Amino acid sequence: MSGFAEKLRAALVIARRDFVAVVFSKTFIFFLIGPAFPLIVGGLAGNIGAKVQQNVERPTIGLAMSAEDNKRMMAAREELQGRMAGGLPDMFELATPVAGKPFDAKAALADGSREVTAVVGGTLAKPTLTATADRARQWVGLVSNLAARARADTPTAYPDVQVEEVNTSIAKVRTGQVYTAQGAQVLLFLLTMLLAGMVLSNLVEEKGNKIIEVLAAAIPMDAMFMGKLFAMLAVSLVGIAVWGTAIGTIVLMGAKSMPALSTPAVGWPLFLILGFLYFAMAYLLMGSLFLSIGGMAATVREVQTLSMPVSMFQLMVFFFSSYALTMPGSWVEWLSVIFPVSSPYAMLARAAQEPAVWPHIVALLWQAFWVVVIVRAGAQLFRRTVMKSGPARGKTKRGLFRRKAY
Amino acid sequence: MKIELGEWPVTGNAVDSTGVELAIEARGLVKRFDGFTAVDGVDISVPKGAIYGILGPNGAGKTTTLRMLLGIIDPDAGYRRVLGHERPTDVARRIGYLPEERGLYPAMKAYEAIGFLAALRGVPLKEGRRRGRELLEEHGLGYAADRQIRQMSKGMAQTVQLLGTLVHKPDLVVFDEPFSGLDALNQGKLERMIRALAAGGTTVIFSTHVIAHAERLCDQVAIIAGGKVPFAGPVDLARDRLRPQVRLETRAQDGPWRAALPADVRHEGAFWHFTLPETGVEPLLRALIEGDAGILSLSIERAGLHDAFVAIAGEAAAKALEDGEGEER
């Protein structure tokens, strides 16, 4: 049997064992339902936040002009209401100050019983707006507009606008594709983060079971690494199938509030295929890095210590790719395409925005090349740094944090 | 034909100077870790079908040497050939290895664990599992074949791993401290198994820090201390490094016969102990008889491996070895 075939065979033996061990374990169900928790928590937090926001502040403008001016201002508001997207703030008569005794708008805003967001005083010719800085910026134009209409003797004649609707526009498509790209990157990141961590804990299991030396003697180390990566990839496919089915069921059951994504530039079928391939590459790249680093750790504690900076690195890669997404064609985007670990994210974003297919073939080959390089380097490092001596005796430290061993 | 190191063919069986085919041939193996030389120029020749022991105290470099021979780690210098191949990993399917730190997947059933170890060595999984059941039956563990490793005693799990080491019928079996952690009963079983393997033509190499195991089992030993191998060869040859010891009991306590005793003589109880003079036993006997010693008993004992170890490796290594044996007991 050739060297490659032998490695593949050995990798499959490892992959099969790991796959069965993970999928048929009792804890696998938690892995499957795991992603539901952040979604539920996120949804609840979002709803509660919106409710709180709604209850805390209902934007209201209090009018403190003369009785006539107040009346005209409210009429002008009624006239404009319905013609502005997003609606207008509520408006009511707060006071009708008598001549020579100006109304104290600041005191009214500070008075908790009144619940006004801003106060408009003065006259129609010279209105004053008292509010916080952001509200003042938001409403100064509106107040000016309303005052101008209120001063007019006759109602404003609004012409009917003939509307001609089109399905889309280039600008909308481009914006939508950016959202699709962002959504795909987020999904890719979440899946990769979830699974790469599992690879790490899987290697710790080998160390805990003390079977690592048997494996190292029987099969090439890189075959063991590849086997572990393949196994977790297969596990992830089970997960994706389950999650995909769940999401599909929810959509079919009529969850109309789910956001509709724009069609990616390469079309949905190819985008989904590329999405899977880039997920596989992102996972293999990150997983092989995790394995290489985890391989050098001697204990579970060391692995836990290491996993934090590695997760941070993963997060930085994601942010970098997201940032590059906003700068198409720039050197930043090219860097994110070339840098192996961010390349899958950047290329998936490209698939959403650019129709060309050939760059994806090149990118996938480039990423696969780096998977092999990292796996081989990790295996070499593992052999050099971990298999140093017989079993630990006494308090001797080994692995990455070992001081001296023989 | 004399073959220089580094010019050997990549494959092909090595032979020693007497024409004996070798399972393992290693020359000048060196391994350094962080500036520390763990193994320093080790030479080993293991004949095919032999039981070969690597004897030395803890930390002497036994495990590192075995790992280099198995290809788990590469030497920094030197040359090795295992079953005719320079890269031991090329013949991994023909090798069985039981490391000192033993372990199996706790959730696996016994027959699955053996099947998995067989699959690692190239046996189809189904066949490996079938052989696993067979082996467990043969070794009295058939009733536990479907039991998970985590549900087994330590001794049973060790037996399962041992069977997993042998399931693919290897030509070479490497044990690292195989007797470590076994009770006397299981040590005896393992000794019988090693002898049976060798009788069947399998080469067995094991490391140990217990002289008695090496003395009872081995055809040849490599004595290792401080990363160096001061002696490698047949056990008898190691013993022959020391002159035989004489134990003499006499009726007379003094007399002209005393002149026949060498300078290293010591008197313990009723016995005189001394090294057999180079002139041999006959002149000694004649001098004792003619000197009216009144010989009650006289025995000549070959030096044991322990004495040979002291003579070859030095007192410090012997002390470390004894400490290790003490820990083991």
Å between A402 CA and nearest CA of chain B:
11
Contact of B67 with chain A, judged by CB distance below 8 Å, is answered with: yes
Same domain, B182 and B288: no
- The neighbouring-strand residues paired with B221 are B53, B233
For residue B252, is it within any domain?
A: yes
Q: Which of A63-77, A167-181, A202-216 has the highest mean pLDDT?
A: A63-77
CB B107 within 8 A of CB B148: yes
CATH number, residue B168: 3.40.50.300
CB B209 within 8 A of CB B321: yes
- Cβ contact (<8 Å) for B120 and A387? no
pLDDT of res. A402: 43
How far apart, in whole angstroms, are the C-alpha atoms of residue A345 and residue A167?
30
- Cβ contact (<8 Å) for B36 and A406? yes
CA distances from B50 to B220, B281, B292 (A): 8, 33, 48
B10, B62, B67: which to substitute to probe chain A, counting the most A Cβ within 10 Å? B67
- Taking residues B103-119, what's their average pLDDT? 94
Residue B194: burial class (beta carbons within 10 Å; 0-12, 13-18, 19+): buried
B-chain residue closest to A18, CA distance: B105
pLDDT of res. B181: 82
pLDDT of res. A387: 64
pLDDT of res. A113: 73
pLDDT of res. A395: 39
Place of tokens 């134990």: B247
- Cβ contact (<8 Å) for B62 and A25? no
Is the pLDDT at B17 greater than 80? The verdict is: no
How far apart, in whole angstroms, are the C-alpha atoms of residue A156 and residue A91?
20
Same domain, B227 and B280: no
A-chain residue closest to B207, CA distance: A390
In the structure encoding, which two tokens stand for residue B324, read together? 């290790």
pLDDT of res. A260: 65
Contact of A214 with chain B, judged by CB distance below 8 Å, is answered with: yes
- Cβ contact (<8 Å) for B33 and A406? yes
Of A77, A118, A69, A128, whose CA–CA distance to A96 is shortest? A69
How far apart, in whole angstroms, are the C-alpha atoms of residue A40 and residue A114?
37
CB atoms within 10 A of CB A55: 8
- Taking residues A112-131, what's their average pLDDT? 86
Range of the domain at B294: 245-301
Residues constituting chain A: 406
CA distances from B39 to A115, B76, B79, B123, B140 (A): 84, 10, 13, 34, 40
Contact of B103 with chain A, judged by CB distance below 8 Å, is answered with: yes
Average pLDDT, chain B: 88
pLDDT of res. A1: 59
Number of domains in chain B: 2
b/e string for A252-264 if b means 16 or more Cβ within 10 A? Answer: eeeeeeeeebbeb
- What's the whole-model pTM score? 0.73
Contact of A39 with chain B, judged by CB distance below 8 Å, is answered with: no
> Who has greater pLDDT, B328 or B238?
B238
pLDDT of res. A8: 92
Contact of B159 with chain A, judged by CB distance below 8 Å, is answered with: no
Same domain, B124 and B254: no
Cα B27 from chain centre = 18
pLDDT of res. A389: 55
How does pLDDT run across B254-303, given as a tens digit for each residue?
889 998 898 888 898 889 999 888 888 899 999 999 999 999 999 988 87
Q: Give the angle subtended at the CA of B100 by the CAs of B97 and B101, to the nearest 5°.
A: 105
CB B246 within 8 A of CB B276: yes
For residue B117, is it within any domain?
A: yes
Terminal alpha carbon distance of chain A: 35
How does pLDDT run across A122-164, given as a tens digit for each residue?
888 899 999 999 889 988 998 999 899 888 877 777 788 887 7
CB B151 within 8 A of CB B108: no
Long-range contacts of B134-138 (CB under 8 A, 24+ apart): B135/B163, B135/B166, B135/B167, B136/B110, B136/B111, B136/B160, B136/B163
- The three-state DSSP-derived secondary structure of A329-371 is CCHHHHHHHHCCCCHHHHHHHHHHHCCCCHHHHHHHHHHHHHH
CB A283 within 8 A of CB A191: yes
For residue B67, is it within any domain?
A: yes
Same domain, B208 and B295: no
Cα B19 from chain centre = 22
pLDDT of res. A169: 65
- The neighbouring-strand residues paired with B53 are B206, B221
- Cβ contact (<8 Å) for A406 and B64? yes
Average pLDDT, chain A: 81
How far apart, in whole angstroms, are the C-alpha atoms of residue B256 and residue B290?
8
Same domain, B223 and B252: no
Same domain, B18 and B165: yes
pLDDT of res. A22: 87
Residues constituting chain B: 329
pLDDT of res. A396: 40
Contacts of A37 (CB under 8 A, 6+ apart): none
Å between B103 CA and nearest CA of chain A:
5
pLDDT of res. A403: 39
B10, B120, B176: which to substitute to probe chain A, counting the most A Cβ within 10 Å? B120
How far apart, in whole angstroms, are the C-alpha atoms of residue B34 and residue A129?
75
CB A379 within 8 A of CB A222: yes
Same domain, B124 and B190: yes
- Of all helices (H) and strands (E), which one includes residue A325? helix A300-325
> Who has greater pLDDT, A385 or A47?
A47
pLDDT of res. B326: 61
How does pLDDT run across A223-267, given as a tens digit for each residue?
988 898 889 889 888 888 888 888 888 877 765 555 666 788 888
For residue B324, is it within any domain?
A: no
Same domain, B259 and B151: no
Is the pLDDT at A301 greater than 90? The verdict is: no
Q: Which A residues 179-198 touch B at CB under 8 Å?
A: none
Is the pLDDT at A390 greater than 60? The verdict is: no
For residue B240, is it within any domain?
A: no
CB atoms within 10 A of CB A247: 13
Same domain, B24 and B48: yes
CB B114 within 8 A of CB B132: yes
- Taking residues B200-211, what's their average pLDDT? 93
pLDDT of res. B12: 55
Same domain, B147 and B255: no
CB A371 within 8 A of CB A278: no
> Which of the listed residues B232, B256, B277 is the one where a domain comes to its end?
B232
pLDDT of res. B10: 42
In the structure encoding, which two tokens stand for residue A296, read together? 């050098």
The beta strands (E) that lie in A208-302 are given as none
In the structure encoding, which two tokens stand for residue A6, read together? 């032998």
Same domain, B59 and B143: yes
- Taking residues A370-381, what's their average pLDDT? 86
How far apart, in whole angstroms, are the C-alpha atoms of residue A137 and residue A125?
20
Contact of A256 with chain B, judged by CB distance below 8 Å, is answered with: no
CATH architecture, range A58-151? 3-Layer(aba) Sandwich (3.40)
CB B235 within 8 A of CB B220: yes
> Which of the listed residues B209, B232, B255 is the one where a domain comes to its end?
B232
Give start-end residues of each CATH 3.40.190 domain in chain A: 58-151
Same domain, B34 and B157: yes
- The three-state DSSP-derived secondary structure of chain B is CCCCCCCCCCECCEECCCCCEEEEEEEEEEEEECCEEEEEEEEEEEECCCEEEEECCCCCCHHHHHHHHHCCCCCCEEEEEECCECCHHHHHHHEEEECCCCCCCCCCEHHHHHHHHHHHCCCCHHHHHHHHHHHHHHCCCHHHCCCEHHHCCHHHHHHHHHHHHHCCCCCEEEEECCCCCCCHHHHHHHHHHHHHHHHCCCEEEEEECCHHHHHHHCCEEEEEECCEEEEEEEHHHHHCCCCCEEEEEECCCCCHHHHHCCCCCEEECCEEEEECCCCCHHHHHHHHHHCCCCEEEEEEECCCHHHHHHHHHCHHHHHHHHHHHHHHC
Of B233, B206, B311, whose CA–CA distance to B43 is shortest? B233
How does pLDDT run across B222-247, given as a tens digit for each residue?
999 989 999 999 988 888 888 888 99
DSSP character at residue A106: H
Is the pLDDT at B312 greater than 50? The verdict is: yes
